[in-house]
Amino acid sequence: MANKNRRRIAMFDLEAVTSSRKSDNPNRIGVQKTLDLLQKIPKDDWILTLWDSQVTFYCSDFKIEHLNNVIIYEFLLNISNRTLSDPIFTGQNRPGRTRRIIIKNLNDLEGKDVSIHVIIKLPENPLDTALMLVEAANGLTISNIVKFFNKVIKKNVKDKFPDEFKQTDPSGACDTKGNPLLINVDYKFEYRVHANQDFIDMINHGRVKNIFLIDEREYQTPLDQNGYFTEKRKVLEVSASGLDGIKSKWDKIKNLFSSKKSQYGSAKIVLGADENRPEKNIDFDISGSLTHIIGQNFYINSDVELLSSYEKFCDPILSEMKKLILP
Q: How far apart are CA 24 and CA 9, in angstroms?
A: 36
User: What CA–CA distance (Å, rounded) separates 263 from 186?
Assistant: 21
How many Cβ atoms are within 10 Å of 295's Cβ, its own excluded? 20
- Which range, of 74-83, 152-161, 289-298, 316-325, averages the lowest pLDDT? 289-298
In this prediction, residues 171-179 reach a mean pLDDT of: 88
pLDDT score for 276: 67
Please tell me whether residues 174 and 237 are part of one structural domain: no
Number of domains present in the structure of the chain: 2
| Same domain membership, residue 176 and residue 236 | no
Same domain, 271 and 140: no
Residues 214-251: tens digit of each pLDDT: 887 555 678 888 888 888 788 999 998 889 888 889 88
Alpha carbon of residue 19 to chain centroid: 19
More confident residue, 192 or 316: 316
* DSSP tag of 295: B
- 232 shares a domain with 106: no
Same domain, 87 and 210: no
Average pLDDT over residues 289-305: 71
Say how far residue 139 (Cα) sits from the centre of its chain. Answer: 12
Same domain? For 213 and 184 the reply is no
Which of the pair, 66 or 177, is modelled with greater confidence?
Answer: 66
Range of the domain at 246: 196-287
The verdict on 265 and 139 lying in the same domain is no
Half-sphere exposure of 83 (CA within 13 A, CB side): 10
121/208 same-domain check: no
End-to-end CA distance of the chain: 32
Q: Which of 193, 180, 173, 185 is nearest to 11 (CA)?
A: 193
Q: Are residues 177 and 211 in the same domain?
A: no
pLDDT number for residue 264: 85
| 54 in the same domain as 165 | yes
Does residue 219 share a domain with residue 121? no
Q: Summarize pLDDT for 20-77 with one digit per residue, the tens.
A: 998 988 999 999 999 999 999 999 999 999 888 899 999 999 999 999 899 999 999 9
pLDDT confidence of residue 60: 97
**Looking at the structure, do residues 152 and 234 belong to the same domain, yes or no?**
no
**How would residue 295 be classed by pLDDT, with cut points 50, 70 and 90?**
low
pLDDT of residue 1: 62
Contact yes or no for 23/183 (Cβ under 8 A): yes
